[in-house]
């Protein structure tokens, strides 16, 4: 029925110090979306990406347009 639908709340991240990345494993192909600190190189993992819909949800959640860089 759609009476109690979740509203799409856009979350924020520190755009000056962090950039969105996808950390991909060479061995098993597992992908995790998150944010990389441009000063320290540390990656904060946010969510597991199993299919394209998960990546689209991540982009929508944080208001990200365009491609996200992959790191291996």
Percent of the chain with pLDDT over 70: 88
> 66: buried, middle or exposed (CB in 10 Å: 19+, 13-18, 0-12)?
exposed
Q: Of 5 and 28, which is predicted with more confidence? A: 28
- What is the pLDDT, as a whole number, of residue 12? 86
| Model confidence pLDDT, tens digit, residues 40-62 | 999 999 999 999 999 999 999 99
Task: Find the mean pLDDT for residues 20-26.
Answer: 95
- What is the pLDDT, as a whole number, of residue 3? 57
Give CA 29 to chain center in angstroms: 16
- Whether the model clears a pTM of 0.85, i.e. scores above it, the answer is no
């Amino acid at each position: 029925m759609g009476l109690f639908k979740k509203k799409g709340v856009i979350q924020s991240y520190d755009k000056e110090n962090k950039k969105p990345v996808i950390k991909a494993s060479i061995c098993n192909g597992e992908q995790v979306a998150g944010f990389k600190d441009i000063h320290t190189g540390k990656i904060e993992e946010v969510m597991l990406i199993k299919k394209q819909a998960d990546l689209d949800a991540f982009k929508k959640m944080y208001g990200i347009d365009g491609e996200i860089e992959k790191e291996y």
